[in-house]
Structure formats: C-alpha cells, structure tokens
Chains A and B, each alone.
Chain A
Amino acid sequence: MDSLEYGRGAVDRAARAGGIVRKLAIPVAALTGTVLAVVGTVSMVSAAGASPADTFRRTPAAGPPGSSVTVASVTPCPATGRALGSPVVLVGLIQGDHLVSSAQLPISASGRWQGTLLVPQSATPGSATLQASCLSKPPSGPPEGLSSIKTLTYDVRSFTVTAQPSVRRATPARPVPAVPATTG
C-alpha cells in the first residue's frame, strides 16, 4: 500500500537529497487504523502546478468529526497522466501541517473521479483544507526515488471542522388523542 506524507519534513528531506525533483511524501492512515511507514515519494513535475481552473468540488464545506465529505473532480485528471501508468487521485484533509485524513480514489477513463473522505474523530474544530493531486505510477517501474508522478495539483479547497453536535435531552412525550388499541 502506498503511504505518503505531506509536510515540511518530507520536503526538507527531499531538499537535502539534492534531487532535481522536489519530493513530497504523505503518510496515509489506513482505514483499519494502522498507519504505515512512509514508502513512497512523489515527484513534483514542473508542469503539474495548479492553475485557477484546476478545481474539484467538496460537499459539504463543513462538518463535525465523524462526518464525511464528498469530493469530485471538476477538472479531470490529464490524459498525459494516464499514459504514464496507473492513475489515481490522492485527496487529503489537512489541519495545519497535519494530514488528518486521506483517500486514494480511482480515475475514470475520462479522467473524472469522485469519492468520500472521512472527517476523523481526531480532527479538531476549526479551519482545514482539502488538497487533491492526480498521480500516475510509471508503468515500467519507477526511476530511483520515485514511485508516482504528480500530473496535476488542484486548487486547495477550504473545509471547516465543526464541533460535535451535542445531543439534547428528550422532552416528555406529547399525548395524542386516540382510541387505544393496546391489550388493556
């Protein structure tokens, strides 16, 4: 399984490595709750930067821990990515420097994608961002230090983690006029 990492540490490590590509590693929490070690790095292809038109939808724009957010492409992933290998989209919910949830979603033949991302209980109420990138794994084996090629970086979308709704106390039942049919 891929395990990727967003964050300054990964970028710094990549910078120290002195590669011509900028590495971005993203730790992914498996849905089982197991967090795998970082195994993959992703190249930042210069042509893959975000443009104002590279967008995706997210619904809703806010939700409490335990809720889910539906994400879907507006701009499809580029065909060039499909030519490079197995295309996927990686979507992450990020608070500060922390990736609190992520999902790896399949891409259709037309380059479109959609899926659901869970807002985990570990998310704290406040602002967050949703980040998405189209990735493609080279078909003939990655070059050294590369496991995926980023073919598109979407515009960052905002998301607000709201407080867990409190459960209100039930009020006394309201009597309904009716001829009873209970057993008496």
Chain B
Amino acid sequence: MVAGLALCAVLGVVVETQVGGSTRPPTNFRTARPESNIVSGQSTQSGFDFYAATVRVPTVVVRALPDASAPARVVLGGHNENGVPQTFLVKGGQRGPDGGRWYRVLLPIRPNGSTGWVQSSDVEVTGIDYQIVIHLRAFRLDLFEGRQLRRSMPIGVGTDQTPTPGGEYYIKELLKPPDPNTVYGDYVFGLSGFSNVLTSWPQGGVLGIHGTNDPAHSIGHQVSHGCIRLTNQDIDQLAGLLPLGTPLEVEP
C-alpha cells in the first residue's frame, strides 16, 4: 500500500579501461550515462549512453532551473539560423515542482559549456550511440560506438593564434556547402561551441568539423581558425552516420 515517488539519481563512477584493445572515452563523458534512466525511465542497462533533445515547438524557453517560474536563460527558435531543427545534448533530468519532467541540456550558446533546463513537453528525446573524442596534440579524431572505438581519423586543427578550444560540445547541424571545392570540403558539422578568439565571425564563430579541398596542407597540421578538418573521405563517412546531438569532447 505504499505509494510514493521513486526519484532516484544513480551516481556512477566510470574508470578508463581497455575494451577490446580500444580506449574508452574520457570519464567526464560518462556523466551522461547515470542520468539516462531519468530520460528513459528504464534501467541504464537498457538505455542509451547519450540522449539528444530536439525542439518540437516554435520557440523554446530555456530556464535556469527546472521550474516554469524560474528565470528564462535564453529563448531559442525551433530551428537554428541555418534552418536545422534546434537540438540539444541532454545532460540530466529532474522533476519540477508540478511533477513535470525537465531536462538539463547543453546549449549552443556562448559561453561554451552553458546549460539550461527545458520542459520535456517542448522536446523529443532520442538515443545516441556515437561519440567523438578529438585529441588535438595527436591530430586524431576518435569515433566511438557505445564504448567501442570504431575509427580513428587524422585531422587538422586550429593554429596557436586561433586555437581549437577544449571542452564538451555536440553536433548541432550538418551542412552541405554548395561548392565542395573550398576549405569546407564536402560537408560541415556545426558544433555547439565557439572559438574563444573569433568572436565577430559570422554566426558568432561557431566551431565545426568539416572536410577540405587541401588535405595535404591541412591534415596533421595546425592550420584552421578553430575548426577541425578531415579528409573528404572521412567527413563523407561521418555525414552518413552521426545524428544531431552526437557528443564531442575536445582534449588537448
């Protein structure tokens, strides 16, 4: 006869280990996993490692706290400046004072790493299998599926004057340039993060992962304004694979 709320927060500690010869992603990435049962309402064993929240209303009010009366942190459109459905990376969940469900999400705004709360009714949540880890010094992009390293790709990164900033981001858009024979190559993944130095760049200095028309002088070098450059072959592969909301960590 006992009825009550079963709000539980399972806090887990994940250590870096070797799985089938591949290194697991950084530990701070795993912070999304314990919260996954808040999203799915299921055990972590049956859930996804990461979740994306796609806005399904014309505008979404992102609040500072999981409460409809809390101050608005930012109001964002249902589509971003490039017409792509507004998508967030879910970092956690909690019930509000009225019992409704809220998600804490990583936001595509400055400063990098900004988070806020959105009501579950304003978004559609989907599960993400993939994650990306960028190793700047090693000029490598590691693609994980679950906890398994699937591919490691050579990259070009930002110069010392326009460095690629470290941190946690996610993919917010996939753009196809009208002309592939440019520095952007075949495709561009727009990220949630921004350059720390190019603040007056169009659209604010959004970081990206893209191909290149000049792999010989790009891959393995510090050449970009902060973006991460891949060969067109590699960006083509990622473009057919990664969903919006895919998390990405940039390590030194």
**Taking beta carbons and an 8 Å cutoff, which residues of A are in contact with B?**
5, 7, 27, 29-31, 33-35, 64-66, 68, 97-102, 116, 118, 120-122, 164, 166-184
Q: Which residues of the other chain, B, contact A34 by a CB distance below 8 angstroms? A: 4
Q: Which single residue of chain B is at the shortest CB-CB distance from A6?
A: B1
**Taking beta carbons and an 8 Å cutoff, which residues of B are in contact with A?**
1-7, 39-42, 47-48, 51-52, 82-84, 95, 98-101, 125-129, 158, 162, 171, 173-178, 183-184, 187-191, 195, 198, 201-203, 205-208, 210, 224-227, 239-245
A to B CB contacts below 8 Å, 27 in the list: A5-B1, A29-B4, A31-B5, A33-B6, A66-B95, A98-B1, A118-B99, A120-B3, A169-B126, A170-B129, A170-B243, A172-B240, A172-B243, A173-B171, A173-B242, A175-B187, A176-B83, A177-B178, A178-B83, A178-B175, A182-B191, A182-B206, A183-B207, A183-B208, A184-B184, A184-B210, A184-B224
> Can you name 8 extra interface pairs (CB under 8 A) apart from A118-B5, A120-B4, A121-B6?
A122-B4, A169-B126, A172-B239, A176-B175, A182-B206, A183-B198, A183-B226, A184-B184
The one of B3, B47, B101 in contact with A27, judged by C-beta atoms closer than 8 angstroms, is B3
- Complex Cα gap A121–B3 (Å): 9
Where chain B touches its partner, the secondary structure class is loop
Contact B175 A166 (CB under 8 A): no
Contact B3 A176 (CB under 8 A): no
Contact A175 B239 (CB under 8 A): yes
* A28 to B: closest C-beta gap in Å: 8
- Complex Cα gap A102–B6 (Å): 15
Q: Which residues of the other chain, B, contact A174 by a CB distance below 8 angstroms? A: 174
Q: Which single residue of chain A is at the shortest CB-CB distance from B47?
A: A167
The one of B39, B95, B188, B190 in contact with A167, judged by C-beta atoms closer than 8 angstroms, is B39
- Complex Cα gap A31–B241 (Å): 43
Contact B98 A116 (CB under 8 A): yes
Q: Total A-B pairs in contact (CB under 8 Å)?
A: 155
The 9 closest A-B pairs by CB, nearest first: A182-B208, A170-B243, A170-B126, A29-B4, A173-B174, A118-B99, A183-B225, A181-B203, A183-B226
Contact B244 A173 (CB under 8 A): yes
The one of B1, B3, B128, B190 in contact with A170, judged by C-beta atoms closer than 8 angstroms, is B128
Contact B40 A29 (CB under 8 A): no
Q: Which residues of the other chain, A, contact B175 by a CB distance below 8 angstroms? A: 175-178, 180
Q: Which single residue of chain A is at the shortest CB-CB distance from B158?
A: A183
- Complex Cα gap A27–B1 (Å): 8
Contact A180 B188 (CB under 8 A): yes
Q: Which residues of the other chain, A, contact B51 by a CB distance below 8 angstroms? A: 167
Q: Which residues of the other chain, A, contact B82 by a CB distance below 8 angstroms? A: 176, 178
* B98 to A: closest C-beta gap in Å: 6
- Complex Cα gap A98–B4 (Å): 11
- Complex Cα gap A120–B47 (Å): 20
Which of A34, A170, A175, A179 has the most chain B CB within a 10 Å cutoff?
A: A170
Q: Which residues of the other chain, A, contact B4 by a CB distance below 8 angstroms? A: 29-30, 33-35, 120, 122
Q: Which single residue of chain B is at the shortest CB-CB distance from A100?
A: B3
- Complex Cα gap A168–B47 (Å): 10
Contact A98 B3 (CB under 8 A): yes
Contact A29 B208 (CB under 8 A): no
Q: Which residues of the other chain, B, contact A171 by a CB distance below 8 angstroms? A: 126, 243
The one of A98, A121, A180 in contact with B5, judged by C-beta atoms closer than 8 angstroms, is A121
Which of B52, B82, B245 has the most chain A CB within a 10 Å cutoff?
A: B82
* A64 to B: closest C-beta gap in Å: 8
- Complex Cα gap A178–B203 (Å): 13
- Complex Cα gap A5–B241 (Å): 54
Q: Which residues of the other chain, A, contact B47 by a CB distance below 8 angstroms? A: 167
- Complex Cα gap A27–B2 (Å): 8
Q: Which residues of the other chain, B, contact A98 by a CB distance below 8 angstroms? A: 1, 3
